[in-house]
Amino acid sequence: MNLLIKQAKIIDKHSDYHLKTMDIFIENGKIITIAKQINPAKPHKVIALKNLHVSTGWFDTSVCFGEPGFEERETLLHGLEVAAKSGFTAVAINPLTNPINDNKSGIRFLIDKAQNHLVKVYPFGALTQKSEGKELAELFDMQQAGAIAFTDYGKGIANANLLKLALQYTQNFDALVMDFPLDLSLSFDGQMHEGIQSTKNGFKGIPAMAEIVQIKRDLTLLSYTGGRLHLPNISCKRSVQLIKNAKKKGLNVTCSVAAHHLVLTDNALADFNTNYKVSPPLREATDVKALINGVLDGTIDMINSDHNPIDIENKKIEFAHALNGTIGLESFFGALNNIIDLETLIDAITSKPRACFRVESTSVKEHIIANLTLFNPEGTYKFEEKNILSTSKNALFLNKTLTGMVYGVINNGKIILN
């Protein structure tokens, strides 16, 4: 693949070409030259697009693709096509499958099936057997097979001693433990954030305290055991403060936030739209503001889509019976682009998650494999269901005008253009 990208503004804090508008020549999948003007002698394809920007390929650290067991929601390969369309060249896949991905064969299945795709797959293994929170899963074996971290996706570890053992045991092979920040005893049967809106809707609420108590406990355990802890998808103002203080004390803790928690509040549930039923739940405006500030000041290390396709039979039903989850890949950039400044946003979906999960780093530099996302941060479009590629359609922001268009992705010697 010989390719010339013309007059692209480079967004990469770790590149010498950051914020510069350059030509980029790619030969056989490798960046050969970056310069103001390039006129290669070899035959090549040219990409010249309006307001073209280029960054390192984006990495989404929380997606669910359903395979095996929930293929009607999204198969693995189709999910990777959705990710590529959305600007992502790498995804971390949660073990929300049937059976739960809690052993090395499940990890290898995902890696082997996706090995020739443009989008790189990084599996998460379940932290406990069947994600039941009773006994640790085969963590070392899964890491050797390619798992980059361990989580019981959507479930907090209720047993404090079990999490303590996980943090101690994983230090033997330097693995990352993830705990979903939700105390199940405080959130059981809750349908949405506990507040004025839950009272209006007549639903039992999930208090912010359910997250805060879990995070306080986890940080206390981490200070005792040492190890590496990641808290995914935090949603509360107080959570940001707790994690900021823990980092100042030197604890090895990182955290992420889902895109929808930076944009929406629980007021979105006023009309009982089940697409807005997510976990953790959408919180209040003060929480949203604190989360945005947490991204801006670096307390929150990364942003993910928390892409979780749910079939219509489990979503378009009575609110109390609908499953949590929303598809977030395709609306990700357009929803966030006016919320977080471009440089901070790109860093939170490129270099920072790769550093946290210790996967292969990359940059917009010469003489390395091209791993790039092409986009126009000022392009606008109407996000409509008819244009959604994902198999499931449980999307937020439907019929909204979003700002920020993805032109395409390049990785693994392949290119996909929208």
What single string gives the DSSP state of each residue in 90-102? EEEEP--SSS---
Domain-embedded: residue 396: no
Domain-embedded: residue 23: yes
DSSP string, 59-98: EEEEE---TTT-TTT--HHHHHHHHHHTTEEEEEEP--SS
Same domain assignment for residues 196 and 281? yes
Same domain assignment for residues 66 and 6? no
| Residues catalogued as catalytic | 306
Note down pLDDT in tens along the chain; length 418 residues.
799 999 999 999 999 999 999 999 999 999 999 999 998 887 789 999 999 999 999 999 999 999 999 999 999 999 999 999 999 999 999 999 999 999 999 999 999 999 999 999 999 999 999 999 999 999 999 999 999 999 999 999 999 999 999 999 999 999 999 999 999 999 999 999 999 999 999 999 999 999 999 999 999 999 999 999 999 999 999 999 999 999 999 999 999 999 999 999 999 999 999 999 999 999 999 999 999 999 999 999 999 999 999 999 999 999 999 999 999 999 999 999 999 999 999 999 999 999 999 999 999 999 999 999 999 999 999 999 999 999 999 999 999 999 999 999 999 999 999 9
Which pLDDT value is given to residue 44? Answer: 83
Which pLDDT value is given to residue 43? Answer: 74
Contacts of 41 (CB under 8 A, 6+ apart): none
Q: In this structure, is the dihedral angle defined by the CA atoms of residues 288, 291, 295 and 296, taken in order, positive or negative?
A: positive
Domain-embedded: residue 394: no
Same domain assignment for residues 24 and 69? no
Same domain assignment for residues 166 and 181? yes
Which 3 state secondary structure label does DSSP give 8?
A: strand
Tell me how far apart the alpha carbons of residues 216 and 231 are, in angstroms, rounded to a whole number.
11
Contacts of 296 (CB under 8 A, 6+ apart): 340, 341, 344
Same domain assignment for residues 197 and 130? yes
Domain assignment of residue 61, given as a range: 57-356
Tell me how far apart the alpha carbons of residues 60 and 349 are, in angstroms, rounded to a whole number.
7
Q: Which token pair is 69? A: 């067991």
Same domain assignment for residues 9 and 92? no
Same domain assignment for residues 152 and 187? yes
Domain-embedded: residue 391: no
Alpha-carbon dihedral angle through residues 295, 401, 315, 62, given to the nearest 10 degrees: -30
Nearest-CA neighbor of 235 among 201, 198, 264?
A: 264
Contacts of 20 (CB under 8 A, 6+ apart): 9, 10
Domain CATH code at residue 407: 2.30.40.10
Same domain assignment for residues 260 and 408? no
Same domain assignment for residues 224 and 317? yes
Same domain assignment for residues 164 and 235? yes
Domain-embedded: residue 395: no
Domain-embedded: residue 239: yes
Contacts of 166 (CB under 8 A, 6+ apart): 127, 136, 139, 150, 157, 177
Same domain assignment for residues 17 and 146? no
Domain CATH code at residue 190: 3.20.20.140
Domain count, the chain: 2
Domain-embedded: residue 389: no
What is the helix, strand, coil percentage profile of the chain, to 5? 30, 25, 45
131 class by beta-carbon count within 10 Å (0-12 exposed, 13-18 middle, 19+ buried) = buried
DSSP 160: H
Same domain assignment for residues 133 and 87? yes
Which 3 state secondary structure label does DSSP give 110?
A: helix
Tell me how far apart the alpha carbons of residues 193 and 208 are, in angstroms, rounded to a whole number.
7
